A = this chain, B = another copy of it.
Amino acid sequence: MENFLDTISALNDETRVKLIAFLDQHGALCVCDMQSSFGMIQSRLSRHLKILKDGGFLRVDRCGTWAYYSIRSPLDRFRSEALAEIRCLGIELPPLKKLSETGDCKL
Contact = CB atoms under 8 A, between A and B. Distances in A.
Interface of A: 1, 4-5, 8-9, 11-12, 14, 17, 77-78, 81-82, 84-86, 89, 91
Contacts of A17: 1, 4-5
Which secondary structure dominates where chain A touches chain B? helix
Number of copies of this kind of chain in the complex:
2
Contacts of A4: 17, 85-86, 89
A85 B78 contact: yes
B12 A8 contact: yes
Given A8-B12, A11-B8, A1 B91 contact: yes
A106 to B, nearest CB: 35
Given A77-B81, A78-B85, A81-B81, A5 B1 contact: no
A89 B89 CA distance: 28
Nearest to A18: B1
A80 B75 CA distance: 18
Contacts of A84: 78
Nearest 10 Cβ contacts at the A-B interface: A81-B81, A12-B12, A78-B85, A8-B11, A8-B12, A1-B89, A9-B12, A78-B81, A4-B89, A1-B91
